[in-house]
Chain A
Amino acid sequence: MHIPTRWIKILKDIWSNRSRSLLVIFSIAIGVASVGMITNAGLMVQRDLYGSFAEGNPASLEIYISPFQQDLTSAVEAMREVEDVQARRVERASVLNGEGDWDDLTLIAFPDLTELEVNQLNLVEGRMSLGVREIALEKQSAEGLGLAVGDTFTVKMDDDRTYDLDVVGIVHDLYGMPYALLGEVTGYLNLDSLKWMGKPSYYNKLDVVVAENKFDQEHVLGVGNSIRDRVIEPSGHKVGSMGVPGLGSDPGKHWAEDQIDGFLLILQIMGVMAVLLSGGLVVNTVSATLVQQIKQIGIMRSIGAVRGQLIAMYFFNVLAYSVLGLAVALPLGLLGSWWLAEFAAGFVNFDLTTVNISWQVLTLQITLGLLMPLGVAIYPILSGTRMSVYDAIYQYGIGSEGSGWLDRVLMNVRNLAPPIVLSLRNTFRNKARLVFTLLTLTLAGAMFIAVFSTRASLTVQIENVARYVAFDAALGLPYGSRKQTVEREALRIPEISAAEGWAQSIGVIVREDGSESGELEIVGLPYDAATIDPLMIEGRWLEASDTSKIVVNDDLLDEESGIGIGSEIRLKIGNRERTYQIVGVTSKHLSGSRIYMEYGSFGQLTNRPNQVDTIRVRGNLETFGSNVEQDVIAFQLENRFENANLSKSSSITRHAIFGDFTDVFDLILVVLMVMAGLLALVGGLGLTGTLGINVLERTREIGVLRAVGASNVSVRQVIVIEGVVVGLISWVLGALLSGPSGRALAGAVINAVMQADLSYTYSFTGLLLWLVVVGFIAVFSSLAPARSAVRLTVREVLDYE
């Protein structure tokens, strides 16, 4: 096959500059693969999670009701506003795990698992047609407990009796919070099994799909109110709670959809930045190639090459980089999207059906991979081939002198060692290239620091939340108990120095026009409670005399417009209503809307004087116990309360709450760090490219330096110092940019994963760490160009005429 020699030249040039070619190929690949990875993962999640979610007929509304029979379900189903309804019984119990401990268990009972109308389950293994004494486990729970079909499942009910059930099926439930996130086991059985386990065969929850406007929250809640007012309450039942399923999601949406979409958006922004940075590197590399080949360009023009031919040659060069970059990016992006989608699948419990790449993603990657490098290369190619033949052949290798104010300032710097002075002046000689390199490194640095600031902000956010969880252990009292009894019982445990009972209830605000707010939590607690350290953002905390005063959290102010400090609001719990004045607002703390009131006032409002629902204890009022100490206290609390017949619930420790919490964030931060690392890598490659061009451009100067006696060390020093100066400038600029970029990233991440507002903390650790990283990048990036400079012989570099 005969190939025109000019194309052969380009291919051979690419091969002979392998390291530089690889640099730009990988740079294109990283940018394109990042975008492909994130977009494709997003599409796979959309297909497998949101698609499967929608197929299973998700509930628009969930209503917890006092025990009821099938006839209530039929009555609700008969309403024209309701499309589908499914009754279930949700029962709390414990399960024996492989280590001999009891884990929290949610048992969900249906008449028949194979005929679910709403929130349908998918069979993974075994069968869903269950008999008595048989159970199907949610797949993540089964994996977590190490159980499979055929194994025995030991359940302890709240009356302390234990039952052995046969595991006959593994099912996938897309609608519940997964085991990986909550650490709670979920099992499904039929009502007959529950009856066999001593429970009456009642239902206590309705999952409802509304007939119209399924995605309109207001409409859905309106239908809920109609169900309550027209069917549930007239039939003598009570609504415990009612709301849209999920974590503040809109109706019909997967409970984690907002979080996943938010997180993917953040990654997408970082992917676009990686593309921009790799574009910068393409510009640098193409410029380097053209600078290196200026003389060759002159020669080619002298032997008959017209400019159009040269332009075509160098575009072909970039096209070759693009095609090779794409060849790496496409499989890399697919692998990355597989990893990311698996990460999401494990996180929110869905199955990745197939790993494929959609034609949209393929088109996006190919377009980006081809057009971005060609687009950014237009300017350097056009300007690099514009030089006259004479200049190209006879003027190459002579660096130009700067004449701006900065150059004049630098000319007055004279008290430093000559190599340092030369490095400083060299740094600013080609300002356009310097700006380009600085832009790349600055963006990388700003993003790196921003990730650390996000981490710091999350930590502070968690610490703020921790102020509301200021106990070593807490134990739920499902049926309520006398305050004095439970506090006395707890204080009998020698390790416990403080114990306080809290009461909780669900209520609503009755607005002036008679309408009611959404449900909110009302907490009754001692005004001087030791197990809460509220962060007041306005007003004050509760005082002893606050019989009709309350403190609300900031979430409530977001939910209910027009209220604030000094406002009087009417609270309703059941049929009882009272008016209270708001005296303080606490920070948000992942609780949703919440009202705190003095314990005595709470008793009056609920008509449950002296009753508490939770006991919260501390071993030492000065400091929190270690993880082990907290576990010991929790164990003793459980035992003591079980023996005293006060509670059979499992206790929870402070470290367990925040351990799970931080694990989730650490995973997210790992993904962000990977992206920041990629950006730093591309930034470093950019600096290498720039210094490489600088060495090429100043080949003759380096020759002169060597001719006048500069040692290898001195020549190397000039290049490395130049790299370090660029690195330091980029660090300063990155530090300045990292303030707003960190705030934006941290805000986006916290909003995506916690659905909370930002409490921003700048990470000085990140700033210092980036100084170290950029220092390494600068030195490391300078080494190869410095080595090239040292390798040049005096004769070689002075052979220009």
Chain B
Amino acid sequence: MEIAKISDTNGRENGTLIKVKDLVKVYPTAANGVEALKGVNLEVHEGEFLAIFGKSGAGKSTLINMITGIDSPDSGEVQIGGVSIHSMGDDELTRWRGRNLGVVYQFFQLLPTLTLAENITLVMDFCDTYPLAKRSDRALQLLDQVGIREHAYKVPSKISGGQQQRVAIARALANDPDVIVADEPIGNLDSQTADDIYDLFSDLVSLGKTLVIVTHDREIAERASRILEISDGRIISGRSNDAPSNERSTGEAAPSPNLVPPRIRAAI
């Protein structure tokens, strides 16, 4: 079945790309279950950089798993580009996610026996996007974009955590999705590397991607264009940063999105 790209459809309402309605998720336990999400509602606009902030156990990872379709809600709905993703069958959802969402995990989750380039071409292979002969070139372009092309033929265990996260981001971009979702993407990195990765995310937003990240780090969240705070399975506050911060935590000026090299922009 042919899976449409969000950008090719007219599924947005007033620029709203992601719409979460009355989302409830209960994890069964021996004692009646734990309500991880208690009727969450939110909207994410096209090109927005949204940070979902909360403490451990607040329900932020559960929420992001609902948005990516990795887990399913007990009630409520997630619409992305006008598509109610949980109404799709398993394989249809998988194909749709492969084409339209890029997912970045805290622990990178690269396949250990494949080279960095192969980790990226695998995504194109599964979704049959790009011709077979051009996938390698695209993988190299994406690795170039995240700044580690020289390591393209190494396996993940031969590079650092920060570099692995760059590859994970390049992999998330493999099928040129409109939405990137990242679950604690810099929670496992030192501060300097975290800043570099954060810059990469900012660059993606400046290039028109919609970005949703969850984090337990308020300082990180503050650098998004909008912040939602989740606690005990509910969104308890939300605010926009008028001037989305590209400032590093050290206070130094961050490079402007305009400074993204043209060759990188061309690759996206």
Contacts and interface: CB of A to CB of B under 8 A. Distances in A.
Contacts of A296: 111
Interface in B77-110: 90-91, 94-95, 97-99, 103, 105, 107, 109
A388 to B, nearest CB: 8
Given A2-B133, A295-B109, A307-B91, A302 B68 contact: yes
B70 interface: yes
B121 A305 contact: no
A9 B94 contact: no
Interface stretch (B38-46, B123-131, B241-249): B123-131
Contacts of B175: 304
A303 B171 contact: yes
A231 interface: no
Interface in B130-168: 132-133, 135-136
B118 interface: yes
Interface in A141-176: none
Give the most central of A15, A300, A306: most B CB within 10 Å: A306
Contacts of A302: 68, 70, 97, 103
Contact of B107 (A13, A300, A799): A799
A266 interface: no
A304 B111 contact: no
Given A305-B126, A390-B65, A9 B91 contact: no
A5 B70 contact: no
Give the most central of A301, A307, A388: most B CB within 10 Å: A301
Contacts of B121: 5
A4 interface: yes
B194 interface: no
B135 to A, nearest CB: 8
Tell me the interface secondary structure of chain B in the complex: helix
A200 B222 CA distance: 123
Contacts of B107: 799
B268 interface: no
B126 A6 contact: yes
Contacts of A299: 105, 109, 111
Contact of B126 (A8, A12, A303, A388): A303
B64 to A, nearest CB: 11
Contacts of A393: 70, 105, 109
Interface in A6-21: 6, 8-9, 12-13, 15-16
The contact size tier of chain B is 20 to 34
Given A4-B125, A4-B132, A300-B126, A306 B113 contact: no
A12 B126 CA distance: 17
B91 A308 contact: yes
Contacts of A799: 107
A2 B132 contact: yes
B122 interface: yes
A389 interface: yes
Contact of A9 (B71, B122, B136): B122
A8 B70 CA distance: 26
A309 interface: yes
Nearest to B108: A299
A305 B174 CA distance: 14
B118 A5 contact: yes
Contacts of B118: 5, 8-9
A390 B111 CA distance: 17
A305 B122 CA distance: 9
Contacts of A301: 94
A317 to B, nearest CB: 12
B221 to A, nearest CB: 20
A393 B108 CA distance: 12
Interface string B61-72: 000010010110
A9 B121 CA distance: 11
Contact of A307 (B71, B90, B124, B171): B90
B94 A8 contact: no
A578 to B, nearest CB: 89
Contact of B127 (A15, A16, A304): A304
Given A5-B121, A6-B122, A300-B122, A305 B94 contact: yes
A390 B62 CA distance: 10
B260 interface: no
B5 to A, nearest CB: 13
Nearest to B117: A5
Given A5-B125, A8-B118, A306 B132 contact: no
Contacts of B126: 6, 300, 303-306, 309
B219 to A, nearest CB: 22
A296 B113 CA distance: 11
A8 B91 contact: no
Interface in A304-338: 304-309
A16 B113 contact: yes
B207 interface: no
B26 interface: no
A390 B175 CA distance: 22
A9 B97 CA distance: 21
A536 to B, nearest CB: 72
B79 to A, nearest CB: 20
B170 to A, nearest CB: 12
B267 interface: no
B121 to A, nearest CB: 5
A388 B99 CA distance: 19
Contacts of A388: 71
Given A4-B125, A4-B132, A5-B121, A306 B91 contact: yes
Nearest to A301: B94
Contacts of A306: 90-91, 94-95, 126
A6 B121 CA distance: 9
A421 B93 CA distance: 45
B127 to A, nearest CB: 4
A13 B122 CA distance: 14
Contact of A5 (B90, B94, B109, B122): B122
A6 B125 contact: yes
Interface string B14-56: 0000000000000000000000000000000000000000000
Contacts of A4: 125, 132
B197 to A, nearest CB: 18
Contacts of A389: 70-71, 94
Contacts of A8: 114, 118
Contacts of B133: 2
Nearest to B109: A299
Given A304-B127, A393-B109, A5 B91 contact: no
A306 B98 CA distance: 10
Nearest to B62: A390
Nearest to B103: A302
A100 to B, nearest CB: 72
B123 A303 contact: yes
Contact of A13 (B90, B94, B113): B113
A307 B94 CA distance: 9
A304 B70 contact: no
Give the most central of A8, A302, A303: most B CB within 10 Å: A303
A9 B126 CA distance: 12
Interface of B: 65, 68, 70-71, 90-91, 94-95, 97-99, 103, 105, 107, 109, 111-114, 118, 121-127, 132-133, 135-136, 171, 174-175
22 contacts: A2-B136, A4-B132, A5-B121, A6-B122, A6-B126, A8-B114, A9-B113, A12-B114, A13-B113, A16-B112, A302-B97, A303-B122, A303-B123, A303-B174, A304-B95, A304-B126, A305-B98, A306-B94, A306-B95, A306-B126, A307-B91, A390-B71
Interface of A: 2, 4-6, 8-9, 12-13, 15-16, 295-296, 299-309, 388-390, 393, 799
Given A304-B97, A306-B126, A393-B70, 17 more contacts: A2-B136, A5-B121, A8-B114, A9-B122, A12-B114, A299-B105, A300-B111, A300-B126, A302-B70, A303-B98, A303-B123, A303-B126, A303-B174, A304-B94, A307-B94, A308-B91, A390-B71
The 4 closest A-B pairs by CB, nearest first: A304-B98, A12-B113, A390-B71, A5-B122
